[in-house]
Chain A
Amino acid sequence: MNPVIQYVAGGLSAGALYGLMALGLVLIYRASEVVNFGHGDLAMISTFVAYTLLQARWPLPAALLGAILFGAFLGALVEGGLLRPARHRRATPLTLVVLTLGLALVLNGLAGFLWGHEIRTFPALVSGPPLIVGPARVTREQLLNLAAGVLLALALYGFLRWTWSGLALRAVTQNPDMARLMGIPVDRILLLAWAIGVGLGAVAGILAAPLIYLEPNAMLELLIKGFAAAVLGGMTSLPGAVVGGLTLGVLENLIAGYVATELKTPFAFAMIVAVLAVRPAGLLGRPIHRRV
């Protein structure tokens, strides 16, 4: 097997998870102008819920679905229960961002209290020998992650493109006042954006969990990589988020393979810094211009 191809295949699979994380971040950012620093911890809590349901012997699909729906519900709760009241009291976008940061810390502490800080193993979601796909040998896990990333990205595209709610969501991201004048209940659409965004984060967390260990800080790396992917894609572009995730996954895997494994995470940070400095609009993004 050609090692480059192996690195790329592994990178694409990790990148799909970064892409899912980034999709949620971008969707939420575009809809509500809030960079959600709670995204990683919301994913972490959802993953713990999946873990707990599996411990309680729920069948795997039911446990995963339950945890993802729980994540979506949490997302809606954050928007409806915290951000909306703050917004109605004229909180600035910066205040709201700080609010999500506070939420991240609260959730993190809460997870430590509920589940403890010991390291747990999350069961593998698929098992079996690696498969040969074209020139690459890939594990079933890698294939699952890539497939989940691609399918969910396509599903999101279809939702935004072909449903009334999706169309309304795109209208709200462009001009919320005008959306209201079309009769669109903007508050409810924001709930939806948060539910979908955090739901996608929950999926990324659950898929990542078998590859890492589960503990309250387990999703920090995923969050950082998700941010890097989102920034790389322009922060406002959904296709950019996916492309950014895959690009980051492949590049960091090549760096880990050819330079040093320890440089993987610093590389993601360096990427955020470099992109913001050189091309703030990212690969596919364009500056958002909204009226107040």
Chain B
Amino acid sequence: MHPLLEVSHATASYGPILALRGISLEVREGEVVALLGANGAGKTTTLRLIAGMLPPLTGSLLFKGQPIHTLPPEQRVALGIVLVPEGRGIFPELTVKENLLLGAWRHRDRRQAQRDLEEVFDRFPILRERQAQRAGTLSGGEQQMLAIGRALMARPRLLLLDEPSLGLAPLVVRHIFEILRAIHEAGTTMLIAEQNAHLALVLAHRAYILQNGEIRLHGDAQALRENPEVKALYLGRSSERR
């Protein structure tokens, strides 16, 4: 059995700046994997690389054993690789419902979209209330829910989440992580980039810790939570950051 996603020795750069210096990681079917690290460690770059928004300089990317590094992002979405980007990336001028429907572009089946829409509305009742509103009028937390809901509309095989807690109040963050847990329990495989290691290590089975574009540590979430280095560097302060 191949892992669902296998990244091997991938490097990536922005012009002359080397952002990833040969990282390897894997995500198995049904897992929640966390990608931890401080500001600028390379978390977003890793997710953009997997989603196809940035080409790797070297190294390989396999999805279900097939190389994907030459595929453009839209074809990776077709395979089921769906990214909820940093900053959420909602379409502010479109309505909440239209944003969600765009998630269904992957299959463009109206009936299935309608069913999935109901499911998303059940998960996020606030979105049902606001479905006819312009998405730009939503609060930060609601926008994050919209971005997650929209990704679910695509029925992802691998859901990539880039700092879903960013800029949100602690209560909202807790709520979102509860929903992520429920989404995982419903069978979705996830790779979550987070600065908030506390939160992520509770949800994840395994984690990779990035530092300066390299994987510094990886292992079971449980073991990492008790690792003295991790404790000192990433769990030192309480969960409210920034």
Contacts and interface: CB of A to CB of B under 8 A. Distances in A.
Contacts of B103: 182
A168 B105 contact: yes
A179 B89 CA distance: 9
Interface string B101-112: 111011010000
B93 interface: yes
A178 interface: yes
Given A181-B51, A181-B53, A182-B105, A171 B74 contact: no
Contact of A181 (B78, B89, B93, B98): B89
B214 to A, nearest CB: 26
A171 B77 CA distance: 16
Contact of A175 (B53, B91, B106): B91
Contacts of A120: none
**Interface residues of chain A: helix, strand, loop or mixed (majority):** helix
Given A170-B94, A171-B91, A174-B92, A180 B73 contact: yes
A175 B74 contact: no
B35 interface: no
Contacts of A186: 74
Interface in B46-84: 51, 53, 72-74, 77-78, 82-83
B107 to A, nearest CB: 9
B105 A183 contact: yes
B42 to A, nearest CB: 19
A185 interface: yes
Interface residues of A, number: 17
B74 to A, nearest CB: 5
Nearest to A286: B93
A175 B102 contact: no
A67 to B, nearest CB: 31
Contacts of B193: none
Contacts of B77: 181-183
Interface string A59-99: 00000000000000000000000000000000000000000
A185 B103 CA distance: 13
A170 to B, nearest CB: 6
Contact of B98 (A167, A179, A184): A167
A238 to B, nearest CB: 12
Interface in B86-102: 89-94, 98, 101-102
Contacts of B72: 180
A177 interface: yes
Nearest to B51: A181
Residue from the set A175, A180, A182, A185 with the largest chain B CB neighbour count within 10 Å: A182
B53 A185 contact: no
A113 interface: no
Interface string B219-232: 00000000000000
B164 interface: no
A171 B95 CA distance: 11
B85 A180 contact: no
Contact of A184 (B74, B90, B93, B94): B74
Interface string A158-172: 000000100110110
Nearest to A185: B74
A180 B91 contact: no
A177 B105 contact: no
A174 B78 contact: no
B220 to A, nearest CB: 31
B207 interface: no
B34 interface: no
Given A170-B98, A175-B89, A182-B103, 5 more contacts: A167-B98, A181-B53, A181-B85, A182-B77, A182-B154
Interface of B: 51, 53, 72-74, 77-78, 82-83, 85, 89-94, 98, 101-103, 105-106, 108, 150, 154
14 contacts: A167-B94, A167-B98, A171-B94, A171-B102, A175-B89, A177-B53, A178-B85, A180-B53, A180-B72, A180-B73, A181-B82, A181-B89, A183-B106, A186-B74
Interface of A: 164, 167-168, 170-171, 174-175, 177-186
